Amino acid sequence: MENRIWETLHRHLSAIYAGDWAIYDETTADDVVVYEWFVTPHRLEGKSFHAFMLEHDWAGSGDDWRYDLLDPRLDLFGNVAVASYTLLLTVAGEEGIRHRTVNETRVLAQYPEGWKVVHVHKSPGA
């Protein structure tokens, strides 16, 4: 079960940075709740905000990128999983290589069609 959860999470994260709405949509609950400190100090609900971001290539998917999950932890509570880690994003673009770290917790719930991200909370990584 843990392998399926991590696989879903990696598909979800890769979709965000690759700008792949179909995979993001598949791996994210319609009523997802997100706290992203670098966007707003308020809760964002639903997928519409991220649909706009992915549609407008917010992550620079034309750049070469990779992410690593530092100190990943997965806690299971029945049909709910809590993944926490520090995300290290590395992007190679015209201005060289850039790094960014963000502490993240992503909560996934099991649906009949598979695991989906239902809640995201981010805080500064450095």
Tokens of 19: 């700008």
Dist. CA 46–CA 29, nearest whole Å: 8
Overall domain count for the chain: 1
Quick one: pLDDT at residue 59? 59
Range of the domain at 27: 2-124
Q: In the beta sheet, which residues pair with residue 81?
A: 76, 108
Quick one: pLDDT at residue 65? 86
SS3 57: coil
Output the pTM of the full model.
Answer: 0.90
Q: What does the pLDDT profile of the chain (126 residues) look like in tens digits?
A: 899 999 999 999 999 888 889 999 999 999 999 998 877 788 889 998 888 888 876 655 556 889 999 999 999 999 999 999 999 999 888 889 989 999 999 999 999 999 999 999 999 877
The CATH number assigned to the domain holding 120 equals 3.10.450.50
